[in-house]
Amino acid sequence: MWTRISAILLIFAILAPLCGCEAKSPKSQSVEFFTMDTVMELTAYGKNAGTALHAAQAEIIRLDRLLSISDPESEIYRANRDGFAELSGDTAALVRESLALYELTGGAFDITVYPLMDAWGFYSDEYRLPSDEERARLAGLVGSDRLALEGDALTLPEPGMGIDLGGIAKGYASDRAAETLADNGVASALISLGGNIVALGSKPDGMPWRVAIRDPLDENAFSGIVRVTDTAVVTSGGYERCFELDGKSYHHILDPATGLPARNGLISVTIICESGILADGLSTALYVMGEEKALAFWRAHLELFDAVLVTDDGRVLVTSGIAEAFSSERDFEVVR
């Protein structure tokens, strides 16, 4: 009897590990919904994925109601209408972060561009070209240093001033969504909020998440693919929203200094860093800065983030910190 058992044990011992050779693909769950004016898709792995995803979805929708500029119930809407508002924790945190970013980027990131954006028609979809005088007048209402934030109370001193948190709302929401997922026991997830990507952990098999960067000139192609773990990837580009008038095109990323769409040599900026809110803010800021200032800014803040820039003459620039994780079918230049 023992001899037979030995034989069976031997066969089992040899065959059993072979089953482990093929990677088991664990179950993933996803939710997809529309909010903050865009499509959101969250994918999570793990036993508690379903509950976690619904919690994350609820959180994102809650933030949208708080921060929307068009929803009369939102705090931002009331602040813009009244010139004053008592902000709740999240909103106040966002405004504080925006002010910090304003300082950090030397004014390139500025939430007070609301009146300019409104003048161009980006909020009403009735696009128009503001005149030079109009832009000069509105310039007096722009500048985050004019805002007064005391505790959680926000004051917009001049009538006609307004703030738009659209430049970091999705980034903040993606960070909060990732936190919610993690709090619910998810270790591996991918969040896409209208193209703002946050990778939580790595894929279930241990490999990094692969995030493709959309080619600004060809919506079916990619500038490259970056491999990330526990990182946010946010891309800003004028191509995302623009209109044409008299043969010229105007996009939605305004330079706060001039009131005109930023035309400083970059057509797409992708920021890769741990914080979604920082990635979101910097992607707009570096787009406004243009190639030279953006690279100088990166060199001054190497430890904070990495970037992939696409210039208007078709070059793809990749900062050295992320170069090894970046691959592309096109030629690209590594910047140090």
Partner 1 sequence: MNARKVTTASLLTALALAVYIVEAQIPPLLPLPGIKPGLSNAVTLFALFFAGPGVAAPVLVARILLGGLLTGQAFSMLYSAAGGFLSFAFGACVYRRFPRNQVFVVSMISAVLHNIGQLAAAAATSSAAVFAYLPALVASGLVTGLFTGLCAQYALLHIGKIGFFKKNALTASGSFISQRTEDKNH
Partner 2 sequence: MKTRAWIALFAALLLVSCAAAWYVSHRRPADSLVGVYQDGRLVRCVDLALAAEPYDIALADGCVVRVEAGEIRMLSSDCPDQICVAQGALTGNLPIVCVPNRVVIRYLSEPDAGYDAVSGAVPGN
User: Which spans of this chain sit near partner 2 (rule: CB under 8 A)?
Assistant: 3-4, 7, 10-11, 14, 18, 23, 38, 125, 190, 192, 194-197, 199, 202-203, 206-214, 216, 219, 222, 225, 227, 233-235, 237, 239-241, 243, 268, 270, 324-325, 327
Task: Indicate which of partner 2, partner 1, none lies near residue 20 (CB less than 5 to 8 Å, by partner kind).
Answer: partner 1
How far is C-alpha 290 from the geometric centre of its chain's CA atoms? Answer: 19
Closest CA to 218 of 324, 290, 121, 316: 316
CB of 128 to partner 1, least distance (A): 60
Integer Cα distance of 162 and 211 in angstroms: 34
CB of 263 to partner 2, least distance (A): 17
Closest CA to 79 of 156, 166, 165, 141: 156
Per-residue DSSP letter, 91: H
Task: Indicate which of partner 1, partner 2, none lies near residue 17 (CB less than 5 to 8 Å, by partner kind).
Answer: partner 1
Q: Measured from the CB atom, is 22 or 331 closer to partner 1?
A: 22
Residue 300 lies near partner 1 (rule: CB under 8 A): no
Q: Measured from the CB atom, is 40 or 87 closer to partner 2?
A: 40
Instruction: Tell me the site size for partner 1, rule CB under 8 A.
Output: 13
How far is C-alpha 146 from the geometric centre of its chain's CA atoms? Answer: 26
Tokens of 267: 């057509």
Q: Measured from the CB atom, is 6 or 327 closer to partner 1?
A: 6
Integer Cα distance of 186 and 51 in angstroms: 10
3-class SS of residue 98: helix
Residue 207 lies near partner 1 (rule: CB under 8 A): no
Task: Indicate which of partner 2, partner 1, none lies near residue 13 (CB less than 5 to 8 Å, by partner kind).
Answer: partner 1
Task: Indicate which of partner 1, partner 2, none lies near residue 65 (CB less than 5 to 8 Å, by partner kind).
Answer: none
Which window, 5-13, 117-125, 159-167, 196-204, contacts partner 1 (CB under 8 A)?
A: 5-13
Q: Measured from the CB atom, is 34 or 73 closer to partner 2?
A: 34
Q: Which of 8, 10, 153, 245 binds partner 1 (CB under 8 A)?
A: 10
CB of 99 to partner 2, least distance (A): 26
CB of 234 to partner 2, least distance (A): 6
DSSP string, 22-37: SPP---EEEEEEEETT
Residue 9 lies near partner 1 (rule: CB under 8 A): yes
CB of 72 to partner 2, least distance (A): 23
Q: Measured from the CB atom, is 86 or 329 closer to partner 2?
A: 329
Scanning the chain, the segments in alpha helix (DSSP H) are: 2-19, 49-67, 75-82, 89-104, 114-120, 132-139, 166-183, 276-289, 291-300, 320-323
Task: Indicate which of partner 2, partner 1, none lies near residue 214 (CB less than 5 to 8 Å, by partner kind).
Answer: partner 2
Residue 13 lies near partner 1 (rule: CB under 8 A): yes
DSSP string, 156-179: --STT----THHHHHHHHHHHHHH
Closest CA to 80 of 161, 167, 150, 166: 161
AA letter at 188: S
Residue 2's Cβ-count burial label (10 Å; 0-12, 13-18, 19+) is: exposed
> Is residue 327 a contact partner of residue 224, using CB atoms and an 8 Å limit?
yes
DSSP string, 194-227: TTEEEEES--TTSPPEEEEEEETTEEEEEEEEEE
Task: Indicate which of partner 2, partner 1, none lies near residue 125 (CB less than 5 to 8 Å, by partner kind).
Answer: partner 2
CB of 229 to partner 1, least distance (A): 16
| Interacting residue ranges for partner 1, rule: CB under 8 A | 1-3, 5-6, 9-10, 13-14, 17-18, 20-21
